[in-house]
């Protein structure tokens, strides 16, 4: 018997390979790793989600919620804000010491915006971690399959051509609907183009198809902007990303899609660990690689399209958060995906606080702030990937 090594998401796993001499080894049971008895890979971290990290993610969400609601043009005491948020729970009645006007600021203006930031950031980070597992590429992000280009072209057409009013300020139903349809359509185009290569499609084929679709749709968007120069400012205000909301409408629009995406991706997160060892090994473990891959891509794309439809194009969240979680908490997707959703929501909510307070009374587009954080981190990812490859 000889040993060969399989490099996967959870480390380097030694497995037995039968030679021509002696009896052949029995096949591994489906759903279990082919690992010889008594052999424990050196340096392999526990695959399960540690309670400490889960508590840390929940604390990060709570802190982002308090900070996002407390800070603004009218600063509110964080303790009073926490008490007032507890008052929203059924059966809780606490004296926060806030006036009716301040309570209205919390419940009608700031809280919907912070909750929207938590949902959008969680969806983008969860989709980014899912894409990185499916494509086995740490640089994959939710815009990889043409989502950004499709949504941008659709919203540009709505605003430039004046379909349904097309005003960004009031966020009419036509703008998020157009973004959702455009993003979903771009993903379907990418799937169709990738299918031209035959049934045995690799992740690289889908990436190249996404690049081609993005280039084509971006050219159409540029043409529309060039022909309708008076709409450039409105279009750019959406393309740079924003979480401005006048109530709970956007949250109610995004919440069902976010729930479906989170349930599907988290229930199949173990399959990403199996896919990381390669399609042949995954098949031998009882997994259908292509079916699992396309189910996860469809779920992640659904969440991304819904998030983009209400927030505009916010980049780098899907790269920064999952990779930071991978570096700190472990490389198993059973750990990466739930923590990415929690820390991604907290990251975007806190980034929104910076966007609306750093240059007050003016507001910086949140996409600009995430790019300021994301560009240096992108360099870090490239450097880390090169060191691992070498």
Whether the CA torsion 95, 97, 98, 99 is positive or negative: it is positive
pLDDT cut 70: percent of the chain above it: 80
Top-confidence range, 37-46, 120-129, 170-179, 354-363: 120-129
Q: Is residue 2 part of a domain?
A: no
Q: Is residue 28 part of a domain?
A: no
54/351 Cα distance (integer angstroms): 21
Q: Is residue 40 part of a domain?
A: no
Q: Is residue 53 part of a domain?
A: no
CATH number of the structural domain spanning residue 236? 1.10.3470.10
Q: Is residue 19 part of a domain?
A: no
Average pLDDT on 124-148 reads: 86
What is residue 267's predicted lDDT score, i.e. its pLDDT?
94
Higher pLDDT, residue 317 or 201: 317
Q: Is residue 42 part of a domain?
A: no
Quick: pLDDT tens for 70-122.
Answer: 998 888 999 999 999 998 888 888 888 888 899 999 998 899 999 999 999 99
Neighbour count for residue 303 (Cβ, 10 Å): 28
Residue 172 pLDDT > 70: no
Q: Is 118:64 a contact under the CB 8 Å cutoff?
A: yes
Closest CA to 121 of 368, 322, 256: 322
Q: How long a stretch of residues is the chain?
A: 390
What is residue 346's predicted lDDT score, i.e. its pLDDT?
96
Average pLDDT, the chain: 80
pLDDT cut 90: percent of the chain above it: 28
Top-confidence range, 84-93, 241-250, 257-266, 269-278: 257-266
Q: Is residue 313 part of a domain?
A: yes
Range of the structural domain that residue 119 is part of? 61-385
pTM for the full predicted model: 0.80
Burial grade of 104 (CB within 10 A; 0-12, 13-18, 19 or more) = exposed
Quick: pLDDT tens for 214-253.
Answer: 999 999 988 988 888 787 877 887 788 888 776 898 899 8
- SS3 percent helix, strand, coil of the chain, rounded to 5, is 65, 5, 30
Q: Is residue 1 part of a domain?
A: no
Domain count, the chain: 1
316/170 Cα distance (integer angstroms): 26
Q: Which helix (H) or strand (E) holds 35?
A: none
């Amino acid at each position: 018997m000889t040993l060969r090594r399989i490099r996967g998401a959870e480390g380097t796993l030694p497995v037995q390979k039968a030679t021509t001499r002696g009896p052949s080894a029995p096949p591994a049971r489906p759903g279990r790793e082919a690992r010889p008895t008594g052999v424990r890979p050196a340096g392999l971290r526990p695959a399960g989600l540690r309670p400490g990290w889960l508590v840390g993610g929940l604390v990060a969400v709570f802190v982002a919620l308090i900070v996002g609601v407390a800070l603004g043009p009218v600063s509110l005491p964080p303790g009073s804000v926490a008490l007032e948020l507890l008052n929203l729970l059924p059966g809780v009645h606490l004296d926060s010491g806030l006036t009716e006007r301040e309570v209205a600021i919390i419940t009608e203006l700031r809280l919907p915006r912070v909750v929207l930031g938590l949902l959008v950031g969680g969806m983008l980070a969860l989709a980014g971690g899912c894409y990185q597992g499916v494509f086995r590429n740490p640089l994959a992000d939710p815009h990889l399959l043409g989502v950004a280009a499709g949504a941008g072209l659709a919203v540009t057409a709505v605003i430039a051509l004046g379909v349904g009013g097309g005003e960004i300020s009031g966020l009419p139903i036509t703008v998020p609907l157009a973004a959702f349809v455009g993003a979903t359509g771009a993903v379907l185009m990418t799937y169709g183009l990738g299918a031209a290569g035959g049934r045995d499609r690799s992740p690289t084929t889908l990436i190249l198809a996404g690049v081609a679709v993005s280039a084509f749709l971006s050219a159409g968007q540029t043409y529309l902007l060039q022909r309708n120069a008076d709409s450039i400012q409105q279009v750019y205000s959406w393309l740079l990303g924003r979480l401005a909301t006048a109530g709970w409408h956007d949250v109610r629009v995004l919440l069902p899609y976010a729930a479906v995406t989170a349930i599907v991706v988290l229930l199949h997160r173990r399959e990403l660990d199996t896919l990381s060892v390669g399609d042949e090994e995954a098949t031998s473990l009882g997994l259908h690689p292509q079916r699992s891959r396309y189910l996860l891509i469809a779920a992640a794309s659904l969440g991304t399209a819904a998030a983009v439809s209400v927030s505009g194009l916010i980049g780098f969240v899907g790269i920064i958060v999952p990779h930071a979680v991978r570096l700190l908490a472990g490389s198993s997707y059973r750990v990466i995906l739930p923590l990415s959703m929690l820390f991604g929501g907290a990251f975007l909510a806190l980034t929104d606080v910076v966007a609306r307070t750093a240059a007050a009374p003016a507001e910086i587009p949140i996409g600009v702030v995430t790019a300021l954080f994301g560009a240096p981190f992108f360099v870090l990812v490239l450097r880390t990937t090169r060191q691992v490859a070498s």
